[in-house]
Chain A
């Protein structure tokens, strides 16, 4: 799935922007700069910046400004991953050692803060405040993560709660990236609403696929063990569906933070072999349909790219 290619993104310009932003502070220890650089230039999908550039296709904007905003969205996403890895106690990110393994917890948290503030600095420099703070509340993202903590190993979580959490955790940043780019390109308000709804539904679908892949994808491709979400107590959609299966449900419900690897692996295998994955895929597909419906009335020749993107996401295997 090469979203960058489908959306005709100038990857070289985007990478240059990110690199220039990172190179700005001479006081930043080269060790930390290299770590951030490795993280930002590892095999990420560049999903958020792709959406920012894509949003601009529906209006007219200065390319340099659009790619600057796109770079900011990629960096803010990366900053959130730095803190996520500490919270998840993850040793690997995209197959590489996570930063807190080398730096310790506090310095890594501060490095993540630095990256957020570097983004805010560029938001101020380019006077992007209205495109950034208007469409994207980091507090909503943090709130959903805080609620997620209180729901760890809580097998009573409902479908509705899962969707709400997913919307805040993933879909909001995707929608904000898309609408931020569109707003910067002076797209009209009624079209912004359509694009926002497209982004939200696509984002939810994207996260559901991520949650499915956490179970089904080869662990070498995943860069972390299969079922890592469940091992961390994070109850995702495949688990919610598996809990409806009377044979599997009691075994899953017994899982706690202290359960053995064998118990976790047994449950992970049961979930993979149940119809939970199939049902989750159906829900993901349904959100892609909603995304398609959201742009039905959008009249623009670039609309086909939005459809192409949905088709690609449907085929996504990594």
Chain B
């Protein structure tokens, strides 16, 4: 994980362009990685997929922090936006269009759930299902 190219890129971006700390969800990274192993999914893009999944939660954390961190609120909001678009653009550039679609629909559902005070989250299951159906 420490050597994940995409995570390193974002971590450096945050460090070099903003005064805030990078928020990383190791547990989410391993959760995805373990699930790939468990389901015997071998994918040439697994590094990218693990990064994309964990960075989604980084985005949410930056946006959550914006609520309380008044000093660096603009950075928290913009970094959340930057990282989520980075993930979408990355999936597009690698032509993982089916995964991009699943990512879009599942994360939109998560946003709706947050607005409805519901903590349901099927992102992991949805991506795994899409990978298995390839």
Contacts and interface: CB of A to CB of B under 8 A. Distances in A.
Interface of A: 25, 27-29, 32, 83, 86-87, 104-107, 109-111, 113-114, 116-118, 120-121, 123-124, 129, 133, 137-139, 142-143, 145-147, 149-150
Contacts of A147: 17
A27 B116 contact: yes
Given A120-B88, A139-B85, A109 B80 contact: yes
Nearest to A232: B74
Nearest to A142: B82
Given A104-B67, A105-B73, A146 B18 contact: yes
A161 to B, nearest CB: 15
A26 to B, nearest CB: 10
Interface of B: 17-18, 63-64, 66-67, 73-75, 77-82, 84-86, 88-89, 92-93, 97, 100-101, 104-105, 107-108, 111-112, 114-116
A178 B127 CA distance: 33
B7 to A, nearest CB: 16
A133 B89 contact: yes
Given A129-B92, A137-B89, 9 more contacts: A109-B63, A109-B67, A114-B112, A114-B115, A120-B100, A124-B104, A142-B82, A145-B74, A146-B82
Q: Describe B's contact surface by its main secondary structure.
A: helix
Given A104-B67, A106-B66, A110-B63, A146 B114 contact: no
A215 to B, nearest CB: 22
A231 to B, nearest CB: 15
25 contacts: A25-B112, A29-B115, A86-B77, A87-B73, A87-B74, A107-B115, A109-B67, A110-B63, A110-B114, A110-B115, A111-B111, A113-B84, A120-B100, A121-B104, A123-B104, A124-B97, A133-B88, A133-B93, A138-B88, A139-B82, A139-B85, A139-B89, A146-B17, A146-B82, A149-B78
Contacts of B67: 104-106, 109
Nearest to B109: A27
A86 B111 contact: no
